Amino acid sequence: MKRLKTEVLSQRLERFHNEKRLKAYESMRHIYDRLVQHLISEFNKLPSIGTRTAERLAYFVLNRSKQDNLSLCRAITDVNEKVIRCELCNNFTEVSPCDICKDQRRDQTVMCVVEEPHDLVAIEKTGKFNGVYHVLMGVLSPLDGIGPENLQMNGLISRLKENAIKEVILATNTTSEGETTALYLCNFIRKAFPKILISRIAYGLAVGADLEFIDSSTIAKSLEGRHAFQ
Ligand code: ZN
């Protein structure tokens, strides 16, 4: 019943946004030529791009050199045609398995599980992790009707079955959905693969943070996750 209510609400919200977009599009019909309108509406579909920003971007494109615009089109076409998902970890790659999965210098016994490809990039940028990854391509969100069957679990299970992985680091976000997903994975792995060590990324304070301005739940988590001074 609760899920049905949520579905109805999210459908209504979707309809509201579509109507809003349509109204904005209709109001622009008499102002812009057809092709410019089309470009604006395409930009308007991108995340965090409202109608005004879409209009600004369209003018930016119109004022730009043809060569620069073609280069942008080619970059989009290339990723569309040539970038695929790694058959092992689900990360975006041009060749599957990806460079990380193939790299024998990396520790193939430690796997870090992340929500999205950009989370993998964020961890790689630290230069502090030398294991392999699994990208879930989402998180559990019961209210939105997203269950384990919607996540990329099969690849994870088959890799764990190969017995090479000794530790799984659950690096989903610290949002309620990320926590639910980490808890689900922890219970699942503990039951199906009891020998595998399961760890969770630590909660803590941001570097350079002032305790006075940090919320109490973050401070509480930091105290729980304290470690010996080195
Ligand atoms: Zn890979």
| 65 falls within a domain | yes
Q: Are residues 128 and 77 in the same domain?
A: no
Query: Taking the CB of residue 170, how many other CB atoms lie within 10 A of it?
Result: 21
Q: Are residues 112 and 41 in the same domain?
A: no
Q: Are residues 56 and 121 in the same domain?
A: no
CA distances 217 to 203, 206, 223, Å, are: 10, 13, 10
pLDDT at res. 29 = 62
pLDDT at res. 59 = 94
Q: Are residues 15 and 112 in the same domain?
A: no
Query: What's the gap in Å between 188 CA and the centre of ligand 1?
Result: 22
Query: What's the gap in Å between 147 CA and the centre of ligand 1?
Result: 23
Query: What's the gap in Å between 92 CA and the centre of ligand 1?
Result: 8
Domain of 145 in residue numbering reads as: 106-224
Read off the pLDDT of residues 167-209 as tens digits, 9 standing for 90 and up.
Answer: 999 999 988 889 999 999 999 999 999 999 999 998 888 888 8
Q: Are residues 115 and 184 in the same domain?
A: yes
Query: What's the gap in Å between 156 CA and the centre of ligand 1?
Result: 11
**HSE on the CB side for 86, CA within 13 Å?**
21
Confidence check: pLDDT of 23 > 90: no
Q: Are residues 220 and 170 in the same domain?
A: yes
Query: What's the gap in Å between 143 CA and the centre of ligand 1?
Result: 30
Query: What's the gap in Å between 84 CA and the centre of ligand 1?
Result: 11
**Of 22-36, 143-157, 208-222, which range is least confident?**
22-36
Read off the pLDDT of residues 108-162 as tens digits, 9 standing for 90 and up.
Answer: 999 999 999 999 999 999 999 999 999 999 888 878 788 888 787 888 998 999 9
Q: Are residues 156 and 219 in the same domain?
A: yes
Query: What's the gap in Å between 166 CA and the centre of ligand 1?
Result: 18
Percent of the chain exceeding pLDDT 70 equals 89
Query: What's the gap in Å between 212 CA and the centre of ligand 1?
Result: 42
pLDDT at res. 36 = 92
Query: What's the gap in Å between 153 CA and the centre of ligand 1?
Result: 14
Confidence check: pLDDT of 2 > 50: no
Confidence check: pLDDT of 4 > 60: no
| 211 falls within a domain | yes
* DSSP codes of every residue in 43-67: HHTSTT--HHHHHHHHHHHHHS-HH
Confidence check: pLDDT of 5 > 60: no
Query: What's the gap in Å between 72 CA and the centre of ligand 1?
Result: 27
| 97 falls within a domain | no
Q: Of 82, 115, 145, which closes a domain? A: 82
pLDDT at res. 153 = 80
Q: Are residues 77 and 111 in the same domain?
A: no
**Of 36-40, 74-78, 126-130, 143-147, which range is least confident?**
143-147
Confidence check: pLDDT of 1 > 50: no
Q: Which residues contact 203 (CB under 8 A, 6 or more apart)?
A: 174, 218, 221, 222, 224, 225
| 101 falls within a domain | no
Query: Taking the CB of residue 46, how many other CB atoms lie within 10 A of it?
Result: 10
Query: What's the gap in Å between 127 CA and the centre of ligand 1?
Result: 17
- CATH assignment of the domain containing 114: 3.40.1360.10
| 64 falls within a domain | yes
Tally of domains in the chain: 2
How high is the mean pLDDT of the chain?
88
